[in-house]
Amino acid sequence: MGQAENIADLNSSWAKEGRTPRIAIVGAGLSGIGAVIALRKAGYSDLTVYEKAERIGGTWRDNHYPGLSCDVPSYWYSYSFEPNADWSHRFSYGPEILKYIDHVAEKYDVMSTVQLNSPVTELTYLGPRWRLKAEGHDPQIFDFVISATGILHHPAYPDIAGLDAFKGAMFHTTRWDDSVALEGKRVGIIGTGSTSAQIVGEITKKVGHMSVFQRTPHWVAPLPQKEYGPIWKTILRTFPALHLFLVWFYKRLMLTTFAKATIGDVEEQQKIQQACLEMLEKTVPDPELRAKLTPDYKATCKRLIFCSDFYPAISHDNAELVTAGITAIEPEGVRTEDGRMHELDVLVLATGFKVSEFILPTKVYGENNLELSKQWDGAPRAHRAMTIPGFPNFWMLEGPTGPVGNLSLISITENQIAYMIQCLDKMKTEKAASIEVKPEAFESLNREMAEAVRTTTWATGGCTSWYIDKTGIPNLYPWHPSRFYKEMEQVDFSEYKLTS
Ligand code: NAP
């Protein structure tokens, strides 16, 4: 379609005209790729994916730090339509996941829909269609926009004086500089979350000296890693039912243990805390170090770390856990409040992500020119993590409150995509030009969420984390995942306004 023809056709409504909707997808990570495949299967084939980077893969492309792995079991961290009997480990390492994503994209011809190096800069609702502007492209008109940008992709840099003064190599974990050799170097890492634990567990053995700057100790649970041999892979390939059973088993395990612990099940929470304490006791012989590593809040309050390598690494002779607060970064290293200078060659910032951005800084203008960043004001909200009042025909995958406990993100996004397809099908049968969540449904669910979060361990556990935003709304789904799966099964259309 030519540009002029495309723009002139603003009032066109795909459902009324009986044509396929033009759908834009922002981001070619796991959600965007899954959306292309599922939408095509459902008969929605006019798809364009705008990917800001030079390759697909999302978080598994951005992150390539040493030790990168996924703490969700591999068989479950796979698309349901593309099981993989060849996973080499129970918990996959980053490069293998990226290879799997490439394989899926190639097998299902996803790349024919993807525009690489095409950051979306502006989305404007012109009713009932959207105008999309992307770098390197003429503006385009779409019937439907799906934001599949993910949540943890904007690095958070610490607000520490002198950060730019450091004269060695310094980078955030999600911008890892592969050209910097670590062998024999004095390496420092700020932060002790999931990312840091994986890095420290991996690199301590090769660096000269490892300084780990801990502001708050985190609970660390054992990760029962296992390598799969060729006989096992053949068995799994021969008996697909066994594969399905394993997916069911891991999901069930998560739902009956961890998921219950986070939403207030005291017994499950204590079992997890006990398992963490036992690993700490077994793997950290020094009682003084053990004390420094022991959190004073409840396990599962912050994001629980699954890692069996961190404690042995931090107990190693060449490692030091620094608990004195950081006062400044200086050219030679990190100065702590006890006056000590920790001299370093390399400084890694494992300080997490800005969690309230999602599709931002893309300018997204909804009805009446309402701008998304103003509407959110630093506290993103959505209805069922997917839609926002005032932004018809605009959907998010893994939007605000999208993560459901430590569930497989692929499982969550597949459910959201199926839900969204139900809405498209409904528009088709009702010949609707637009669909939008009703403000009262949105408000009521968000109120319920703010109420529900109060009894979760994230709120009662005595810690602060990215799990609850500045207004008390959780950044995660605050109920048991079984409720999420049920909600996704059947759209309650009384929550939505369909306009013809
Ligand atoms: P994170 O959990 O947000 O941890 C950031 C760390 O940096 C914390 O220890 C924090 O201390 C520290 N920090 C932040 N600002 C600081 C400052 N100014 N001074 C000193 N310390 C500072 O980030 P992350 O480890 O990158 O993990 C982010 C998320 O990624 C996780 O929650 C998880 O969802 C995901 N992830 C998943 C996997 C997986 O296997 N599935 C692996 C890695 C990451 P405080 O605790 O005191 O705030």
* Separation of CA 229 and ligand 1 centre (Å): 33
| Cα gap 259→251, rounded to integer Å | 10
Give the per-residue pLDDT at 5.
44
The two tokens of residue 320 are 């030091």
pLDDT at 18 over 60: yes
407-423: average pLDDT: 96
Q: Are residues 81 and 188 in the same domain?
A: no
63, 173 in Cβ contact below 8 A?
yes
CB-count burial class (<10 Å; 0-12, 13-18, 19+) for 238: exposed
* Buried-state track 432-461, b at ≥16 Cβ within 10 A, e below 16: bbbbbbeeebbeebbeebbebbeebbbbeb
Residue 120 bridge partners (DSSP): 134
Q: Check pocket membership of 92 for ligand 1, CB cut-off 6 A.
A: no
Read off the CATH number of the domain in which 192 is found: 3.50.50.60
| Cα gap 405→458, rounded to integer Å | 11
Q: Are residues 363 and 345 in the same domain?
A: no
* Beta strand 346-349 pairing with 169-172: parallel
* Separation of CA 245 and ligand 1 centre (Å): 33
Q: Are residues 427 and 484 in the same domain?
A: yes
Render pLDDT for 331-383 as a digit per residue (tens, 0 to 9): 999 999 999 999 999 999 999 999 888 999 999 999 999 999 999 999 999 99
Q: Check pocket membership of 295 for ligand 1, CB cut-off 6 A.
A: no
| Cα gap 459→263, rounded to integer Å | 10
Measured from the Cβ of residue 66, the count of other Cβ atoms closer than 10 Å reads 17
Q: Check pocket membership of 103 for ligand 1, CB cut-off 6 A.
A: no
> Which numbered atom of ligand 1 lies nearest the CA of 69?
40
Q: Are residues 65 and 78 in the same domain?
A: yes
* Separation of CA 25 and ligand 1 centre (Å): 28
Pocket test for ligand 1, best of 195, 199, 404 (most atoms within 8 A of CB): 195
Give the per-residue pLDDT at 464.
87
Q: Check pocket membership of 350 for ligand 1, CB cut-off 6 A.
A: yes
482-499: average pLDDT: 96
Q: Check pocket membership of 152 for ligand 1, CB cut-off 6 A.
A: yes
State how far the alpha carbon of 491 is from the alpha carbons of 193, 411, 447, in Å.
36, 17, 20
Residue of minimum CA distance from atom 3 in ligand 1: 352
Give the per-residue pLDDT at 440.
98
Give the gyration radius of the chain's Cα atoms. Answer: 24
User: Of 349, 381, 415, which residue constitutes the final position of a domain?
Assistant: 349
pLDDT at 72 over 50: yes
Provide the pLDDT confidence category of residue 227 given band limits of 50, 70 and 90.
very high
Q: Are residues 324 and 376 in the same domain?
A: no
- With respect to residue 270, please indicate whether it lies within any of the assigned structural domains: no
Q: Are residues 455 and 343 in the same domain?
A: no
* Separation of CA 194 and ligand 1 centre (Å): 6
Q: What average pLDDT is seen over the chain?
A: 95
- With respect to residue 378, please indicate whether it lies within any of the assigned structural domains: yes
Give the per-residue pLDDT at 66.
98
- With respect to residue 11, please indicate whether it lies within any of the assigned structural domains: yes
Q: Check pocket membership of 216 for ligand 1, CB cut-off 6 A.
A: yes
475, 302 in Cβ contact below 8 A?
no
* Separation of CA 195 and ligand 1 centre (Å): 6
Q: Check pocket membership of 406 for ligand 1, CB cut-off 6 A.
A: no
284-289: average pLDDT: 97
Render pLDDT for 153-174 as a digit per residue (tens, 0 to 9): 899 999 999 999 999 999 999 9
Give the per-residue pLDDT at 1.
42
Q: Check pocket membership of 196 for ligand 1, CB cut-off 6 A.
A: yes
State how far the alpha carbon of 291 is from the alpha carbons of 194, 319, 340, in Å.
20, 16, 21
- With respect to residue 143, please indicate whether it lies within any of the assigned structural domains: yes
Pocket test for ligand 1, best of 351, 353, 410, 464 (most atoms within 8 A of CB): 351
Q: Check pocket membership of 219 for ligand 1, CB cut-off 6 A.
A: no
- With respect to residue 293, please indicate whether it lies within any of the assigned structural domains: no
Provide the pLDDT confidence category of residue 37 given band limits of 50, 70 and 90.
very high
User: Of 349, 384, 413, which residue constitutes the final position of a domain?
Assistant: 349
> Which numbered atom of ligand 1 lies nearest the CA of 192?
9
Q: Are residues 169 and 146 in the same domain?
A: no
Q: Are residues 360 and 445 in the same domain?
A: yes
22-49: average pLDDT: 98
Q: Are residues 142 and 14 in the same domain?
A: yes
- With respect to residue 454, please indicate whether it lies within any of the assigned structural domains: yes
> Which numbered atom of ligand 1 lies nearest the CA of 465?
48
402-416: average pLDDT: 92
Give the per-residue pLDDT at 393.
98
* Separation of CA 45 and ligand 1 centre (Å): 39
- With respect to residue 481, please indicate whether it lies within any of the assigned structural domains: yes
User: Of 326, 349, 372, which residue constitutes the final position of a domain?
Assistant: 349
Q: Are residues 172 and 321 in the same domain?
A: yes
Provide the pLDDT confidence category of residue 6 given band limits of 50, 70 and 90.
low
Give the per-residue pLDDT at 12.
85
| Cα gap 26→147, rounded to integer Å | 5
* Separation of CA 466 and ligand 1 centre (Å): 9
Render pLDDT for 102-121 as a digit per residue (tens, 0 to 9): 999 999 999 999 999 999 99
* Separation of CA 95 and ligand 1 centre (Å): 21
- With respect to residue 247, please indicate whether it lies within any of the assigned structural domains: no
Q: Are residues 12 and 150 in the same domain?
A: yes
Domain that holds residue 191: 163-218+302-349
State how far the alpha carbon of 57 is from the alpha carbons of 62, 99, 134, 147, 150, in Å.
8, 9, 19, 15, 11
Render pLDDT for 238-268 as a digit per residue (tens, 0 to 9): 999 999 999 999 999 999 998 888 888 899 9
Residue of minimum CA distance from atom 24 in ligand 1: 352
Pocket test for ligand 1, best of 65, 160, 303, 469 (most atoms within 8 A of CB): 303
> Which numbered atom of ligand 1 lies nearest the CA of 218?
46
More confident residue, 470 or 481: 481
pLDDT at 206 over 70: yes
* Separation of CA 139 and ligand 1 centre (Å): 38
Q: Check pocket membership of 405 for ligand 1, CB cut-off 6 A.
A: no
* Separation of CA 197 and ligand 1 centre (Å): 9
Give the per-residue pLDDT at 11.
80
* Separation of CA 4 and ligand 1 centre (Å): 47
Residue of minimum CA distance from atom 46 in ligand 1: 216
pLDDT at 152 over 90: no
Give the per-residue pLDDT at 8.
52
Q: Domain total for the chain?
A: 2
Q: Kindly state the percentage of the chain with pLDDT values over 70.
A: 98
36, 105 in Cβ contact below 8 A?
no
Q: Are residues 406 and 384 in the same domain?
A: yes
pLDDT at 7 over 60: no
pLDDT at 2 over 70: no
| Cα gap 82→264, rounded to integer Å | 35
